[in-house]
């Protein structure tokens, strides 16, 4: 692949050359090989249009809406495309909920004093419990246990019984709409069950019904999975607060024992940092010839960690997002790759053999061909498990140093990370008023929530995300970034104070006044619920303005996987103008396309923008923002 199709980042392009020299299979060459003809982006027309189904033995079937060509069962192209989208949403919601279940197990064990962690944010625990109607007085451990009991009961609430979490947290205006159109959810686990069952052959082939079920699942996921997950992680590990963090592949130094927690769950990552900061572990590393021992944050597990804990020589920095994974592993600097429940690649064992590092799954969800060693996370044994992982790194160091030539002198920079609703309020003096005033007087035109992955579709890694973000800040739109797209912003330099020079005059003035970058590092993909809670607060502060009328947009410039699709569907249910790229696999379903890009506006107030050109996409976002400003008289 040409440089501009590999990655926006120089560091990744550099290591790609090494990967090619070593003759290793890699994500870029595999992507190119999947293309048809001379285009790496071209795929089967039916698959790319969403007009294919292989759920039963009569298939695979292909649909054609223009000819009314249906599947053997009679399902239309619209039904095929929406059913597959719903199934992707089920996978995304299930994975979010798995993470949340692990967080609640960890909070429960922590409240009992059975983990190496502690309840760090007592005020947040009491406030969150209070919002859920739980008695927040008394012993803090008892409050935490009551919170765990409450949310676990809500997760399994039966069909027809409204989720208490959604009732207590969502904007009233949204709740009324969701009840009116029949998408107010019960328990998240019940909604997953019903959505999966609806997707069986010959059950629900109605694209409108399937779309409403997807939105219902999205609402349950955002409030029960995402908000509960992130707020409880805050309670244990601390609120995100702004601080500097080293980023990019230059954080990898071959002379150190380097252990990389990877995935989406930060539990063992935090436990390893706690131990790595102790002198005895640094001494152990130095005794075998290393300069020391470092925990290097990686992908979304890394995002969870760097948002909350500050860097030092033990918790040294952050590499980037998932497409960089093979570049990270091929650097010749890794001793242990700790794979939790998401975003580790099936190819990793081949890289472990070539570049001499230990590949250790730490989630019962994860398995690799040929890898038998594993250490599935148990909250009560977190410290013991973390110690085993550190020792694996120390034991691996000499072999890796002796047999693998590292790639050195890779770029490293610093980004400001750790923005949350609370820290943004702190920067504004404890109230939203300064932000609202800046929006009202036009200094800021609006706010964009960038909730994205990273993909090789149509552009190189992170290139499109950075292009969209630059266009937004140039037009005085403040960007809150989440997910793998957040790593694009951090490594790409947009989360540094110097990036204010790329912003429009209004946003630049805000950046200078508050000492912030124009793109605020707001967390991971699981923070979608957190930003919905912030938008609800903005709506209330402006006088209960309906969400669809706010000067706010959502954008996923490089969505990739199933978690992203459920996030986008929730954004539509929430009433947000939602930009997604690349074009979803529904283009062969004209009625569904019309529903998502036009008709949805009359149902929930949300609408989908699938413009692929960065400048045109942002112009359309700004048109929506400016129309809403006129509607609000600002």
**Confidence label for 3 from pLDDT (cuts 50, 70 and 90):** confident
pLDDT reported for residue 429:
86
Average pLDDT (420-427) is: 91
Average pLDDT (436-459) is: 95
Average pLDDT (586-595) is: 96
**Residue-range domain boundaries for the chain:** 77-237, 243-403, 418-632
**pLDDT tens string 339-364:** 999 999 999 999 999 999 999 999 99
Q: Where are the alpha helices (DSSP H) in 112-169?
A: 122-131, 140-155, 164-169
Residue ranges at the known binding site for [4Fe-4S] cluster: 44, 53, 56, 61, 73
Instruction: Output the six-digit token pair for 197.
Output: 């069952």
418-632 has the same fold as 243-403: yes
Instruction: Output the six-digit token pair for 525.
Output: 């993909």
The rounded mean pLDDT for the chain is: 96
What is the rounded CA–CA span in Å between residue 252 and residue 409? 10
pLDDT reported for residue 187:
98
Whether 13 shows a pLDDT value over 90: the answer reads yes
pLDDT reported for residue 599:
97
The CATH number assigned to the domain with range 243-403 reads 3.40.50.2030
SS (H, E, C) 244-260: EEEECHHHCCCCCEEEE
Residue appearing with tokens 């033995």: 57
Instruction: Output the six-digit token pair for 622.
Output: 């700004």
Burial of 44 (0-12, 13-18, 19+ CB in 10 A): exposed
Whether 378 shows a pLDDT value over 90: the answer reads yes
User: Which listed CATH number (3.40.50.2020, 3.40.47.10, 1.10.3660.10, 3.40.50.2030) goes with 418-632?
Assistant: 3.40.50.2030
Beta-bridge partners for 324: none
**pLDDT tens string 156-201:** 999 999 999 999 999 999 999 999 999 999 999 999 999 999 999 9
% of the chain at pLDDT higher than 70: 100
Secondary structure of residue 69 in the 3-state scheme: strand
What is the rounded CA–CA span in Å between residue 117 and residue 582? 41
What is the rounded CA–CA span in Å between residue 282 and residue 292? 5
**pLDDT tens string 471-492:** 999 999 999 999 999 999 999 9
Peptide bond into 582 cis (omega under 30): yes
Average pLDDT (33-57) is: 93
**pLDDT tens string 280-316:** 999 999 999 999 999 999 999 999 999 999 999 999 9
pLDDT reported for residue 38:
85
Longest pairwise C-alpha distance within the chain: 73
pLDDT reported for residue 600:
97
587 close to 608: Cβ distance less than 8 angstroms: no
Nearest to 165 by CA among 141, 144, 136, 185: 185
Instruction: Output the six-digit token pair for 632.
Output: 């609000």
Average pLDDT (134-139) is: 95
342 close to 95: Cβ distance less than 8 angstroms: yes
Whether 2 shows a pLDDT value over 90: the answer reads no
Average pLDDT (62-71) is: 95
Instruction: Output the six-digit token pair for 304.
Output: 């969870």
What is the rounded CA–CA span in Å between residue 320 and residue 334? 15
Residue ranges at the known binding site for [Ni-4Fe-4S] cluster: 264, 343, 453, 484, 525
**Confidence label for 37 from pLDDT (cuts 50, 70 and 90):** confident
Average pLDDT (387-415) is: 98
Nearest to 259 by CA among 337, 146, 145: 337
Average pLDDT (241-266) is: 98
Task: Decide which of 221 and 432 is more confident.
Answer: 221
Average pLDDT (200-218) is: 97
Distances in whole angstroms, Cα of residue 603 to Cα of each of 395, 501, 573, 606: 59, 40, 9, 8
pLDDT reported for residue 199:
97
Distance, C-alpha 232 to centroid of its chain: 17
pLDDT reported for residue 569:
97
pTM here is: 0.96
Q: Strands across the sheet with 519-523, in order?
A: 519-523, 477-483, 446-452, 552-556, 577-580, 607-609
Sign of CA pseudo-dihedral 578, 436, 424, 511:
positive
Residue appearing with tokens 């006044």: 513
Whether 446 shows a pLDDT value over 90: the answer reads yes
What class has domain 77-237?
A: mainly alpha
Secondary structure of residue 240 in the 3-state scheme: coil
609 close to 597: Cβ distance less than 8 angstroms: yes
Distance, C-alpha 277 to centroid of its chain: 28
Beta-bridge partners for 244: 416
Residue ranges at the known binding site: 44, 53, 56, 61, 73, 264, 343, 453, 484, 525
Q: Strands across the sheet with 243-247, in order?
A: 358-361, 336-339, 257-263, 293-298, 315-318, 243-247, 413-417
Average pLDDT (7-13) is: 97
Using left for φ > 0, alpha for ψ between -120 and 50, and beta otherwise, residue 509 falls in alpha
């Amino acid at each position: 692949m040409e440089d501009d199709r590999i990655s926006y980042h120089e560091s990744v392009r550099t290591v790609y050359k090494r990967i090619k020299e070593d003759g290793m299979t890699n994500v870029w060459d595999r992507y190119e090989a999947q293309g048809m003809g001379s285009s790496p982006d071209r795929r089967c027309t039916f698959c790319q249009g969403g007009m294919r189904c292989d759920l039963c033995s009569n298939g695979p079937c292909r649909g054609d809406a223009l000819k009314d060509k249906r599947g053997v069962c009679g399902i239309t192209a619209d039904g095929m495309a929406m059913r597959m989208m719903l199934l992707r949403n089920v996978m995304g919601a299930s994975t979010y909920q798995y993470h949340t279940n692990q967080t609640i197990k960890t909070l429960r064990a922590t409240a009992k004093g059975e983990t190496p962690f502690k309840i760090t944010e007592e005020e947040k625990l009491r406030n969150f419990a209070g919002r859920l109607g739980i008695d927040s007085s008394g012993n803090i451990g008892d409050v935490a246990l009551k919170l765990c009991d409450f949310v676990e009961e809500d997760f399994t609430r039966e069909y027809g019984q409204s989720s208490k979490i959604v009732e207590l947290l969502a904007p009233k205006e949204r709740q009324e709409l969701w009840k009116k159109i029949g998408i107010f959810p019960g328990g998240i686990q019940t909604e997953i069950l019903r959505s999966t069952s609806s997707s069986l052959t010959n059950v629900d082939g109605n694209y409108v019904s399937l779309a409403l079920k997807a939105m219902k699942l999205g609402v349950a996921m955002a409030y029960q999975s995402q908000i509960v997950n992130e707020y409880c992680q805050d309670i244990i590990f601390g609120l995100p607060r702004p601080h500097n963090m080293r980023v990019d592949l230059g954080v990898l130094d071959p002379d150190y024992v380097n252990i990389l927690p990877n995935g989406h769950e930060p539990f063992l990552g935090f436990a390893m940092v706690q131990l790595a900061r102790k002198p005895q572990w640094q001494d152990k590393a130095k005794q075998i010839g290393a300069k020391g021992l470092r925990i290097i944050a990686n992908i979304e597990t890394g995002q969870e960690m760097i948002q909350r804990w500050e860097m030092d020589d033990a918790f040294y920095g952050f590499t980037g997002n998932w497409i960089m994974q093979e570049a990270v592993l091929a650097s010749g600097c890794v001793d242990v790759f700790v794979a939790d429940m998401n975003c580790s690649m099936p190819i990793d064992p081949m890289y472990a053999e070539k570049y001499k590092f230990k590949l250790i799954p730490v989630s019962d969800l994860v398995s690799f061909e040929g890898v038998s060693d594993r250490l599935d996370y148990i909250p009560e044994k977190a410290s013991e498990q973390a110690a085993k992982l550190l020792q694996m790194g120390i034991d691996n160091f000499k072999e890796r140093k002796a047999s693998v030539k590292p790639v050195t002198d890779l770029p490293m920079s610093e980004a400001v990370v750790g923005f949350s609703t609370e820290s943004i309020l702190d920067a504004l003096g404890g109230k939203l008023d300064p932000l609202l005033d800046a929006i009202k007087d036009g200094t800021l035109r609006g706010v964009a929530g960038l909730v994205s992955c990273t993909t090789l579709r149509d552009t190189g890694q992170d290139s499109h995300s950075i292009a969209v973000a630059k266009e937004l800040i140039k037009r005085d739109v403040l960007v809150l970034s989440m997910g793998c797209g957040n790593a694009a912003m951090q490594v790409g330099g947009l989360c540094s104070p110097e990036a204010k020079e790329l912003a429009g005059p209004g946003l630049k003035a805000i950046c200078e006044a508050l000492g912030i970058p124009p793109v605020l590092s707001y967390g991971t993909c699981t923070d979608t619920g957190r930003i919905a809670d912030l938008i609800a607060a903005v709506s209330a502060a402006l006088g209960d303005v309906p969400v669809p009328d706010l000067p706010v947009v959502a954008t996923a410039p490089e969505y990739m996987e199933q978690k992203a699709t459920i996030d986008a569907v929730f954004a539509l249910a929430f009433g947000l103008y939602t930009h997604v790229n690349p074009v979803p696999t529904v283009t062969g379903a004209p009625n569904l396309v019309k529903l998502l890009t036009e008709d949805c506006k009359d149902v929930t107030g949300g609408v989908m923008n699938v413009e692929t050109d960065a400048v045109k996409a942002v112009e359309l976002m700004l048109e929506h923002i400016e129309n809403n400003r006129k509607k609000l008289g600002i």
